[in-house]
């Protein structure tokens, strides 16, 4: 088939044109050098520091061979990986995906494409799914597998895979939330500054030291609970409703703390 030949649209209804749009969006990740650049960048950001802490730092500090060092480092590095990922990934997602809708609107390619045999749902869905796959594979799954292998090799045996990849699943939910947020903002405004600014404010609100530091610390503690094998009922609730449940759980826990600090109120609530 000639390269300039038309491609038949097979879908009908609300998925009209989805396969063609998805193939185009997916190709921007996997048929260019973008995937190599992104994979290298995230392996450096998330995994290089773990390698330094596990294999270099003990010799610099003279702690190599100390009793209990391996278990302490495995516990520390496991939590550190998810802490770094929880900070870096939202910013990376905002920078990488904010232009997906805005650029189409600026170049007026959206206005040219939508009158063709493609639905608005297919147009938006193809971009969201293609970018989600790229983010999940290059920024979450591969660095997570590499981190699991590094930590297990240092430990001398495989650490609990269910715990580690359960925490990785929560991290994936967090990434999906920020992808949805960026695409929603991009469909509302053409301003890159507005999309990045609102997203940055939300991320800052969640970061340690920000106004939402309790909620963010709660998320980190949830990830660490999975890694270390502690999965109480509240953790499963957060998995279902992450990240909104994380915020609500932080509020609930503060309420419990306030009630426990006030014995009179605690007795009144129990009656």
CB burial string 65-89: b at 16+ within 10 A, e below: eeeeeeeebbeebbbbbbbbbbbbb
Per-residue model confidence (pLDDT) at position 111: 60
The position carrying tokens 């904010």 is: 98
CA dist 83 and 221 (Å) reads 9
What are the angstrom distances between the C-alpha of 259 and each of 132, 213, 252, 262, 269?
A: 41, 21, 11, 5, 9
- C-alpha closest to that of 255 among 269, 242, 243, 241: 269
| Cβ atoms of 173 and 242 closer than 8 Å | yes
Nearest to 168 by CA among 194, 146, 192: 146
The pLDDT tens digits for 187-231 are 888 888 888 888 888 777 655 444 444 444 555 566 666 666 665
Average pLDDT, the chain: 75
Q: Return the pLDDT at 219.
A: 59
* Mean pLDDT to the nearest integer, 47-62: 85
List, for residues 127-156, the tens digit of each pLDDT value. 899 999 999 999 999 999 999 999 999 888
Q: Could you check whether the bond before residue 210 is cis, i.e. omega within 30 degrees of 0?
A: no
């Amino acid at each position: 088939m000639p390269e300039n030949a038309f491609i038949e649209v097979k879908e009908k209804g609300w998925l009209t044109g989805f396969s063609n749009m998805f193939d185009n969006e997916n190709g921007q990740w996997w048929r260019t050098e973008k995937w190599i650049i992104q994979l290298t960048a995230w392996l450096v950001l998330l995994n290089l520091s773990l390698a330094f802490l596990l294999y270099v730092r003990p010799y610099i500090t003279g702690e190599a061979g100390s009793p209990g060092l391996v278990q302490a480092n495995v516990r520390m590095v496991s939590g550190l990986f998810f802490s770094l990922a929880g900070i870096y990934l939202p910013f990376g997602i905002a920078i990488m995906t904010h232009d997906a809708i805005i650029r189409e609107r600026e170049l007026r390619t959206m206005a040219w494409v939508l009158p063709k045999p493609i639905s608005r749902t297919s147009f938006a869905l193809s971009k969201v799914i293609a970018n989600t796959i790229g983010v999940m594979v290059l920024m979450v799954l591969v660095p997570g597998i590499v981190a699991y292998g590094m930590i297990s090799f240092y430990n001398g045996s495989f650490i609990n895979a269910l715990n580690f990849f359960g925490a990785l699943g929560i991290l994936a939910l967090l990434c999906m939330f920020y992808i949805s947020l960026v695409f929603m903002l991009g469909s509302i405004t053409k301003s890159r500054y507005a999309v990045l600014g609102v997203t940055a404010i939300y991320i800052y609100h969640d970061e340690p030291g920000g106004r939402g530091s309790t909620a963010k610390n709660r998320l980190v503690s949830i990830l660490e609970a999975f890694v270390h094998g502690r999965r109480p009922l509240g953790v499963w609730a957060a998995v279902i409703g992450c990240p909104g449940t994380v915020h609500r759980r932080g509020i609930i826990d503060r309420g419990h703390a306030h009630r426990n600090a006030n014995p009179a109120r605690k007795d009144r609530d129990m009656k």
